[in-house]
Structure 1
Amino acid sequence: MTIGPELLRINDLSIAFPLMQGRLQAVKSASLRVLPGKVTALVGESGSGKSVISQAIMGLQPAFADVRGQVLFADPGASKASAAPVDLLKLPRDGRQLRAIRGSRIGMIFQEPMTSFSLLHTVGNQISEALRVHTTLSPAARREECEEMLGLVGFSDPRRVFDMYPFELSGGMRQRAMIAMALICRPALLIADEPTTALDVTIQAQILKLLRDLQEKMDMAILLITHDLGVVANIADEVVVIYQGEIMESGPVGPIFRAPKHPYLKGLMAAVPHFDMPKGERLKPLREIVVDHQTLLGGLTAPVAETAVAAEPVAASAQAAAVRPADVTAPREKAGGFPEVLLSVRNLRKTFQTRKQDWKVGRAAPQRPAVDNVSFDIRRGECLGLVGESGCGKTTVSKILMRAVTPDSGSVVFDDGAGPIDVLAARGDDLQALRTRVQMVFQDPVSSLSPRMSVGSILSEPFDIHKRGTRAARKDAVSALLKVIGLDPSAARRYPHSFSGGQRQRIGIARALALAPSLIVCDEPVSALDVSVQAQILNLLKDLQKDLGLTYLFISHNLAVVDYMADRVAVMWAGKIVEIAPREVIMRSPAHPYTRSLLEAVPYPDLDRPLNFARAGESSTASSAGWAPAFRDDGGGRDLAPLDLGGGHFVLARKSADLSEVQP
């Protein structure tokens, strides 16, 4: 069989896994193609079979998998004698012919670069391994090739990076190194499995620009596996939509986005938050979570309140339930008639010291603060969004608020109506009470839940630690919590590994709700979830905020998500808050150039609003040199101060700047 101009043709691919409960059909008669020099996007939810297909192409599927069909690869670099398409499924899994193709003619970028690198070997050693296996180059020539490729993927000092270890690189840098490793043998086909999922918008834009530029320079085809429709709209030539192992729709990117035919694709598009949503409009997940949120106020707090120690948080929760988000959207400029401040943060500063010494003078090199003079308020009942790129200090701020990191200076005062508590100085009973009133939802729902504990034990643990209620009351409370997040009470007997990513994240939310807190810190709670599950979680968080009067600090790098969730938004860059304002102001008329660059880096799932790769692909450090003088810091931070633009809008600018210099 010939496949004409196609580089890769998959015909009737079926993949099944034998399990104790029965046979799992992961892929069902899937067919798709990848054209030379083009980008084909394979789009679908988690568990739809995308990654299983990529494993079958590379011959990396589990040995017990039952794989049927054809995966035909027509290598343009093969000799005329062997130019006919090769069925990769018929090649021995560990045979010489497949090993010659894998890593050389077909490269792969994996979703998580940290777990894909060995911690014991340098970056250069791991990149050069493919050259050692597939070429006869000398060690010196291999190093030269690796340094050249590291330069191509954007490293300014490839020689230094070659000798570094993966843990010394940031997430974006590790992803660049992973791309260098996949491309070192100049493959004809690159499989990119969720290459930008956990990256912030600026780094994501840089990686997308890099992939596009390398594709053109190397005349390479890409099979892009993703659930991000914004990425697809900006980089793909053809789109294949997969659902539960079956191809639902495929074709050129234009017809797919402008006139989708299949209900599943229409549902995916409706689940994506975007900046043009009318106020109050809800996301439309493919599967709604059916919950009764009043269960928490009735079924949860009543049984737990059997002990005296539970009365205070229950009262605080009831008091918070009277506050609604509509009450807190107006800026607090006058005394009276405005919501009180729940958490007040002033002048936080944190510098992390390293063991590396300045070899020139023999003393510790000066360190840039991770958090630099950060101040903000969170009002009762509101959601404050905290956005910025990786390394800007967002998570460090959240850890300081949770008492996981001690700042060098600054103050944090919490007051939910029971009297102010100095968060950083709290000890004894005050600290114990504070632990119940401030909770956290973590980014990774897998590592934040113990695999050795049942869901029931995970949810009852907060009651055990804080000595709340009787055993029967705790059991009832766990059932109530599971109902609140849309899970059956029978889920209490199961373990985290038996749930999907979205269900695990809901369990994490339930754990945070257990003690009826006044404030929940959400640290990237949906960054690792696909769009349909993300819509479920975001709607759940908004419903809980409305019904229970919760207050959120919502940390995210996804500005569309923040636009959907937040009442006000604070923007961080290089440890500083450079702008803070009501959500509508930040999203529609930002004043600071960094905020504008963040918004420009967001990929829209809209062909008529393409990403400006020339601007979005530039690092913030490089672009800051071109900022207007009013925003540049030439005095080590001493020249900058928050400038009040009115209406609760503040921007970090020179003290001598006037409104005309910074007005959007």
Structure 2
Amino acid sequence: MNSGADLLRIEQLGIAFKMMGGQLEAVRNASLRVLPGKVTALVGESGSGKSVISQAVMGILPNTASATGRILFCDPENPGNPIDILSLPRDGKAIRDLRGRRLGKIFQEPMTSLSPLHTIGNQVGEALRIHEPVSKAETRDRVEEMLGLVGFANPARTREMYPFELSGGMRQRTMIAMALICRPSLLIADEPTTALDVTIQAQILQLLRELQAKLNMAMLLITHDLGVVANVADEVVVIYRGEIMEAGPVETIFRRPAHPYLKGLMAAVPHFDMKPGERLKALREIPVNADTLIGKRKQERQGPEILLSVRNVIKTYGTRKSSWFGKNTAAGVRAVDDVSFDVRRGECLGIVGESGCGKSTLSKIVMRAVTPDSGSVTYFDRDGKAIDVLSSEGNDLKTLRTKIQMVFQDPVSSLSPRMTIQNILSEPLEIHDRGSAQERKEKVLRLVQAIGLDQSALNRYPHSFSGGQRQRIGIARALALGPDLMICDEPVSALDVSVQAQILNLLKDLQKELGLTYFFISHNLAVVDYMADRIAVMCGGRIVELAPRETLMRSPVHPYTKALLAAVPFPDLDRPLDFAAVQACGATGTASWAAQFRADNDDNALAAADLGGGHIVLARRNADVRELQP
């Protein structure tokens, strides 16, 4: 095909980085295209070379990188003269004229990509001021127009705000406005929805599709989420370790995948149609060796059925605003609002909901990292003794810490960069005086073997491991003291789908072998569906629905739950996202639910209705639960 028919054509691209002792080839002989007005998805795991290719297209490769091949951009403003981006001087006028004006990019992490010192209006309008001769008034008008286009209800107010005043979804919308302010012909979206909740993700995907049609814009979408690809892309390019494995129209790729790597990626994604007991097929399985870890503990499930009981927990975070006249007005946000539930021994209780709904605050209360305003948390040991978690002190609290452990969301920041893996895993044993130095060394060795790592890992530091390996180390640290309850706070949200499958299978194997109980927090309903026995849905600090997994997934009652389920993108062309249903749980929808709950100061205004079979739904007192159904 003539390159003139393509908006962007990459031919035999090779990218290498200079390193001590030689070169690292990040991309090898990569060729792909982006058609005018179409979406090409570049799919692969972390480290496969996706983002490096996008940097080469934008002309922002680091100085240590060298590139070969051609990147031809056929600008609609000058259609007969394709520009080879690689041949342009790295910081010359020609590439600067293209970058930001004709080529836009949405970066992966919106918080670190936005300046904390400048207003939203200042940052969105910067590219416009650089590339076009516009007055201040025109800049203001264009910025407000674009902010309105990407979904801000009050663009004039948003223009004066700072990034820290916006949620993750709003910051991502700001990044989109920055990329589109000059109406580029090509938008590069680098993992635009990775860190977002499913409902916000669905809004962003719908927004990108609408803007693409409205502006007649092409898009290079970089992602590892096949559900996103199925709902947005026209063409798909699959990359693995710097090489293109497969490319073609989305219909061909999804219905007739040819390469084993693509088939493996599809099998690694959890979905709602999985049979009971069916496992995810990880690309690289982890051999689990839990027999020698703490010994088989199925018999240790003996004891009360309820392991943890949480009753009427409330937590309010206060803010204080000073007026010009020196008067202080106190305001508060109720993060957890009268929450009650039980965790049964040996089960996995899933907690789902959007960012800000109170999931992580609730987990910190259970861990005694945060003190609630009121309520009770009771832990029942194997002898049936009730332990008040919130009032435990001294040795009682130290003992309780060994029974409840936590796996954190971010495997990078939760491990000390100054400690070896040997020190990280032995630290809990030393704090709680478990065994002699030799016994601790042997226990640490059993821990790394249990999570599928080699003995050589013990003398290495966290930075030398991949994200999935670091998360496995975090799991091993949580297992070191032989806990009964493990709180998993978004343990796979930062991982690729193939690595995610490894971690989820590992957690299920450990639960089966050691008789563990999980309190599993996530915003990904497909992941919770795979892991949990029962699922609680949180919104606005309250649990709005609680039911066995099969019941909740098959026949949800609460509108919020229905909208959450509708927002999950399936890697299936026959099950596209229902954007109309998602609107019920959009940014405004969620806010209205939360506002409705928090406006009810009368404790009797809301009541938990029991539908039978453990299915609890939050409804207005004296109201028929069926009224919640559409």
TM over 0.5: yes
Q: Which residue of 2 aligns with 1:52?
A: 52
SS at match of 1:296: coil
After superposition, the C-alpha distances for 1:447-504 in whole angstroms (9 at most, x for unaligned) are 1111111111111111122222222222211111110110001101111111111111
1:65 Cα deviation after fit = 1.2
Kindly provide the amino acid, as one letter, of the partner of residue 395 in structure 1. Answer: S
SS at match of 1:543: helix
Q: Which residue of 2 aligns with 1:383?
A: 348
Cα gap change, 1:631 to 1:390, in 2 (>3 Å):
closer
Kindly provide the amino acid, as one letter, of the partner of residue 565 in structure 1. Answer: M
Q: How many residues align?
A: 627
Q: 1:593 aligns with which of 559, 579, 589?
A: 559
1:649 and 1:371 map into 2 onto residues whose CA distance is 21
1:20 and 1:351 map into 2 onto residues whose CA distance is 53
Q: Which residue of 1 aligns with 2:496?
A: 530
Task: Tell me the C-alpha RMSD between the 2 structures.
Answer: 2.2
**What are the equivalent positions in structure 2 for 1:40-119 lying under 5 Å apart?**
40-78=40-78, 83-119=80-116
Q: Which residue of 2 aligns with 1:306?
A: none
Cα gap change, 1:626 to 1:423, in 2 (>3 Å):
closer
| 2:559 and 2:629 in contact (8 A); partners too | no
**Does 1:557 pair with 2:554?**
no
Q: Which residue of 2 aligns with 1:295?
A: 292
**Does 1:27 pair with 2:24?**
no
| 2:38 and 2:219 in contact (8 A); partners too | yes
SS at match of 2:611: strand
| 2:563 and 2:585 in contact (8 A); partners too | no
2:587 and 2:175 map into 1 onto residues whose CA distance is 22
Q: Which residue of 2 aligns with 1:327?
A: none
1:616 Cα deviation after fit = 1.5
Q: Which residue of 2 aligns with 1:14?
A: 14
| 2:563 and 2:584 in contact (8 A); partners too | no
Q: Which residue of 1 aligns with 2:272?
A: 275
SS at match of 1:355: strand
| 2:203 and 2:586 in contact (8 A); partners too | no
1:138 and 1:656 map into 2 onto residues whose CA distance is 59
1:77 Cα deviation after fit = 2.5
| 1:633 and 1:654 in contact (8 A); partners too | no
Cα gap change, 1:608 to 1:661, in 2 (>3 Å):
same
1:277 Cα deviation after fit = 0.3
1:662 Cα deviation after fit = 5.1
SS at match of 2:5: coil
Cα gap change, 1:634 to 1:100, in 2 (>3 Å):
same
| 1:209 and 1:617 in contact (8 A); partners too | no
Kindly provide the amino acid, as one letter, of the partner of residue 499 in structure 2. Answer: V
After superposition, the C-alpha distances for 1:493-541 in whole angstroms (9 at most, x for unaligned) are 1111111111111111111111111111111111111110000000000
1:132 and 1:105 map into 2 onto residues whose CA distance is 14
SS at match of 1:646: coil
After superposition, the C-alpha distances for 1:140-173 in whole angstroms (9 at most, x for unaligned) are 3222211211111111111222122111111111
1:295 Cα deviation after fit = 2.4
1:22 and 1:522 map into 2 onto residues whose CA distance is 41
1:361 and 1:217 map into 2 onto residues whose CA distance is 49
Q: Which residue of 2 aligns with 1:225?
A: 222
2:223 and 2:299 map into 1 onto residues whose CA distance is 39
Q: Which residue of 1 aligns with 2:332?
A: 367
1:631 Cα deviation after fit = 10
**Does 1:443 pair with 2:415?**
no
Q: Which residue of 2 aligns with 1:335?
A: none
1:660 and 1:206 map into 2 onto residues whose CA distance is 28
**What are the equivalent positions in structure 2 for 1:61-210 lying under 5 Å apart?**
61-78=61-78, 83-210=80-207
Q: Which residue of 1 aligns with 2:572?
A: 606
Q: Which residue of 1 aligns with 2:256?
A: 259
Q: Which residue of 2 aligns with 1:248?
A: 245
Q: Which residue of 2 aligns with 1:411?
A: 376
| 1:320 and 1:518 in contact (8 A); partners too | no
2:325 and 2:154 map into 1 onto residues whose CA distance is 20
Q: Which residue of 2 aligns with 1:647?
A: 613
Cα gap change, 1:106 to 1:591, in 2 (>3 Å):
same
Kindly provide the amino acid, as one letter, of the partner of residue 126 in structure 1. Answer: Q
Q: Which residue of 2 aligns with 1:395?
A: 360
2:68 and 2:591 map into 1 onto residues whose CA distance is 56
1:181 Cα deviation after fit = 1.1
Cα gap change, 1:22 to 1:540, in 2 (>3 Å):
farther
2:493 and 2:51 map into 1 onto residues whose CA distance is 18
1:212 and 1:588 map into 2 onto residues whose CA distance is 30
1:427 and 1:319 map into 2 onto residues whose CA distance is 28
2:128 and 2:628 map into 1 onto residues whose CA distance is 52
1:249 Cα deviation after fit = 0.8
2:118 and 2:580 map into 1 onto residues whose CA distance is 35
After superposition, the C-alpha distances for 1:206-240 in whole angstroms (9 at most, x for unaligned) are 11111111111111111110111100000100000
SS at match of 1:367: strand
Q: 2:451 aligns with which of 485, 495, 518?
A: 485
- Report the more deviating stretch, 167-176 or 610-619: 610-619
TM-score (norm 1): 0.91
1:592 and 1:535 map into 2 onto residues whose CA distance is 29
After superposition, the C-alpha distances for 1:184-219 in whole angstroms (9 at most, x for unaligned) are 111111111111111111011011111111111111
| 2:48 and 2:240 in contact (8 A); partners too | yes
1:297 and 1:417 map into 2 onto residues whose CA distance is 16
1:319 and 1:56 map into 2 onto residues whose CA distance is 53
1:279 and 1:359 map into 2 onto residues whose CA distance is 62
SS at match of 2:4: coil
Q: Which residue of 1 aligns with 2:540?
A: 574
1:589 and 1:471 map into 2 onto residues whose CA distance is 54
- Report the more deviating stretch, 50-59 or 289-298: 289-298
1:203 and 1:437 map into 2 onto residues whose CA distance is 36
Kindly provide the amino acid, as one letter, of the partner of residue 469 in structure 1. Answer: G
Q: 2:391 aligns with which of 425, 430, 433?
A: 425
Kindly provide the amino acid, as one letter, of the partner of residue 491 in structure 1. Answer: A
SS at match of 2:320: coil
Q: Which residue of 2 aligns with 1:302?
A: none
1:163 and 1:503 map into 2 onto residues whose CA distance is 42
1:323 and 1:640 map into 2 onto residues whose CA distance is 36
Kindly provide the amino acid, as one letter, of the partner of residue 317 in structure 2. Answer: F
1:291 Cα deviation after fit = 2.5
2:598 and 2:462 map into 1 onto residues whose CA distance is 48
1:521 and 1:374 map into 2 onto residues whose CA distance is 17
Q: Which residue of 1 aligns with 2:423?
A: 457
TM-score (norm 2): 0.95
After superposition, the C-alpha distances for 1:618-659 in whole angstroms (9 at most, x for unaligned) are 5446447999xx999866663111101111110001221235
| 1:208 and 1:235 in contact (8 A); partners too | yes
Q: Which residue of 2 aligns with 1:521?
A: 487
Kindly provide the amino acid, as one letter, of the partner of residue 349 in structure 1. Answer: I
1:222 and 1:25 map into 2 onto residues whose CA distance is 26
Kindly provide the amino acid, as one letter, of the partner of residue 371 in structure 2. Answer: T
